[in-house]
Amino acid sequence: MQRLIIEQLKQWKRSDYRKPLIVQGVRQVGKTWILREFGARCYEHVAYFNFEENEDFRQFFKLSKDPHRILQNLRIASNQIINADNTLIIFDEIQDCSELITSLKYFYENAPEYHVVCAGSLLGIALAKPLSFPVGKVNMMCMYPMTFTEFLLANNQSNLVEYLEQLNKISPIPDTFFKLLLEYLKMYYVTGGMPEPVCRWVTDHNVQTMHHALEELVKTYEFDFLKHISPIQYPKISLIWNSLPSQLARENKKFLYKAVKQGARAREYEDALQWLVNAQLVYKVYRSTAPRIPLCSYDDSSAFKIYLADVGILRCLSHLDIQAFTEGNRLFTEFKGAFSENYVAQALIAQTHSTLHYWSQTNPPYEVDFLLQYKNDIFPVEVKADTNITSKSLKKFKELFPQYTKLRIRFSLNNLSLDGDVLNIPLFMADFTPHVLECALAQLGRRE
């Protein structure tokens, strides 16, 4: 399957400022596969070291901080070729070897000629713990579940991707393409973007086989709760995890601790929730008190929404039967549009590589689903799960913040259009938001 992150890896290889690279991402997102594939495509040799399979490798990092000596020991112990100019060195499952993480500083300072990449399961958890982290001495890259674009490519629909990439003006998409893209999007909601379920689908085109792979993946995450956390924290994480579909099913999707368990309070459960965030299983979207740059400066830390890292995991966790795929637009509208909102959040985070925010007020009640910070502008974003696109909140947002409203963005099942300063983007084009946004601003004459 084609993963677009490989282009970022190629840029890292060519960079004059290359440092040892740490690739993060939710477990089973394909980090090991993409690093091996990158090595096979771009290097003569790949030296692969798995620190979970072979714990003996860890001793070399404990005995010495000299990268040349470490590599010499690894070369002898593994009988692998390691050359500075043509070998990609992959350190995998590094989460339990803090000495290795610390040693990356010395690889950068004393052996910059070597190409070193690292990955690991639940690496976000390990990096969140107190350790001697090589600040400023490493490059970081995040790998996300497969986007809808990558899903199309996996389904041999490169022609559809090419068509979307070449759009250079805001005008309706022909019905033939629109309907076909919508059908593939429904399937993407069912499978999600985790590589194993997608691979099962594109190989067998059997929804039961695909769903079984997704169920196994969810169970793997739940086993991780038992394996990697204390017995005291496990029940709390499990309760939060299982509450997420009901949290998103409410009209007001603000995360409520009392919806996790009656009487639950933030101080009792916030560490458990943060574990899920650090594991990159969920995204935290904070309420912004004002649409000003930078958005993070206006976060209300007491109000936030939680989205799953993958829409397929959300469907599986919600126990929504795969037959919903055949029932018109039910997949989009189920759970008050939670799947569509989660899908858009997932797409925007993968493109911007930053956190999202939302805006709301309580009296009278208005809420804009997301605030997108793009370059030096803020754009209000609304997600509609159907063709009904009435939006009082977008209108109110413009009334309150006209100076911060160059353009309003709405995702829906309607066709691509520009109605005044409201840009309607079909849900299946969420991966192309920056490009479509630039086209709309140019069309309005608002891009400086």
Instruction: Report which secondary-structure segment, H or E, holds 87.
Output: strand 87-92
Q: Alpha helices, DSSP H only, in 111-233? A: 123-128, 148-154, 158-165, 175-191, 195-204, 207-228
In the structure, what pLDDT confidence band is assigned to residue 448 with cuts at 50, 70 and 90? low
**Which percentage of the chain shows pLDDT scores above 70?**
96
In the structure, what pLDDT confidence band is assigned to residue 86 with cuts at 50, 70 and 90? very high
Q: How crowded is residue 317: how many other Cβ atoms within 10 Å of its Cβ?
A: 20
In the structure, what pLDDT confidence band is assigned to residue 41 with cuts at 50, 70 and 90? very high
pLDDT at 329 over 90: no
In the structure, what pLDDT confidence band is assigned to residue 326 with cuts at 50, 70 and 90? low
Of 242, 261, 220, the residue nearest 319 (C-alpha): 242
Last residue of a domain, one of 142, 164, 193: 142
Instruction: Report which secondary-structure segment, H or E, holds 14.
Output: helix 5-14
> Whole-angstrom Cα distance, residue 152 to residue 221?
26
CATH number for the domain that contains residue 24: 3.40.50.300
Of 280, 312, 40, 346, the residue nearest 142 (C-alpha): 280
> Whole-angstrom Cα distance, residue 143 to residue 29?
7
Last residue of a domain, one of 142, 164, 182: 142
The count of domains in the chain is: 2
**Structure-block tokens of residue 143:** 């790998």
Kindly state whether residues 347 and 246 are assigned to the same domain.
yes
Kindly state whether residues 216 and 310 are assigned to the same domain.
yes
Kindly state whether residues 287 and 393 are assigned to the same domain.
yes
Kindly state whether residues 165 and 228 are assigned to the same domain.
yes
Do residues 9 and 38 make contact, with C-beta atoms less than 8 angstroms apart?
yes
Its domain, for residue 101, covers 5-142
What per-residue confidence (pLDDT) applies to 363? Answer: 83
In the structure, what pLDDT confidence band is assigned to residue 246 with cuts at 50, 70 and 90? very high
pLDDT at 49 over 90: yes
- Condensed to tens digits (0 to 9), the pLDDT of residues 381-434 reads 999 987 777 778 999 999 999 988 889 999 999 999 999 999 999 999 999 999
More confident residue, 325 or 261: 261
Q: How crowded is residue 20: how many other Cβ atoms within 10 Å of its Cβ?
A: 25
> Whole-angstrom Cα distance, residue 349 to residue 431?
10
- Condensed to tens digits (0 to 9), the pLDDT of residues 146-180 reads 999 999 999 999 999 999 999 999 999 999 999 99
Do residues 385 and 182 make contact, with C-beta atoms less than 8 angstroms apart?
no
Identity of residue 31: K
Of 286, 420, 178, 107, the residue nearest 410 (C-alpha): 420
Kindly state whether residues 182 and 134 are assigned to the same domain.
no
**Which percentage of the chain shows pLDDT scores above 90?**
75
What per-residue confidence (pLDDT) applies to 233? Answer: 86
- Condensed to tens digits (0 to 9), the pLDDT of residues 184-225 reads 999 999 999 999 999 999 999 999 999 999 999 999 999 888
Half-sphere exposure of 399 (CA within 13 A, CB side): 6
Kindly state whether residues 95 and 154 are assigned to the same domain.
no
**Structure-block tokens of residue 257:** 């601790």
In the structure, what pLDDT confidence band is assigned to residue 354 with cuts at 50, 70 and 90? confident
What per-residue confidence (pLDDT) applies to 296? Answer: 87
Do residues 150 and 1 make contact, with C-beta atoms less than 8 angstroms apart?
yes
What per-residue confidence (pLDDT) applies to 355? Answer: 84
Taking residues 108-135, what's their average pLDDT?
85
Kindly state whether residues 76 and 134 are assigned to the same domain.
yes
What per-residue confidence (pLDDT) applies to 105? Answer: 95
Taking residues 31-41, what's their average pLDDT?
97
pLDDT at 447 over 90: no
Kindly state whether residues 132 and 227 are assigned to the same domain.
no
* pTM score, whole prediction: 0.93
Kindly state whether residues 164 and 285 are assigned to the same domain.
yes
> Whole-angstrom Cα distance, residue 106 to residue 20?
10
Kindly state whether residues 153 and 131 are assigned to the same domain.
no
Classify residue 232 as exposed, middle or buried by CB count within 10 Å of its CB (0-12, 13-18, 19+). exposed
Lowest mean pLDDT among 21-35, 90-104, 375-389: 375-389
Kindly state whether residues 153 and 302 are assigned to the same domain.
yes
More confident residue, 32 or 127: 32
Instruction: Please name the residues in contact with 17: beta carbons below 8 A apart, sequence gap of 6 or more.
Output: none
Kindly state whether residues 218 and 342 are assigned to the same domain.
yes
> Whole-angstrom Cα distance, residue 142 to residue 264?
33
Please provide the average confidence, as pLDDT, over all residues in the chain.
Answer: 92
pLDDT at 129 over 80: no
Last residue of a domain, one of 84, 107, 142: 142
More confident residue, 129 or 143: 143
Do residues 282 and 308 make contact, with C-beta atoms less than 8 angstroms apart?
yes
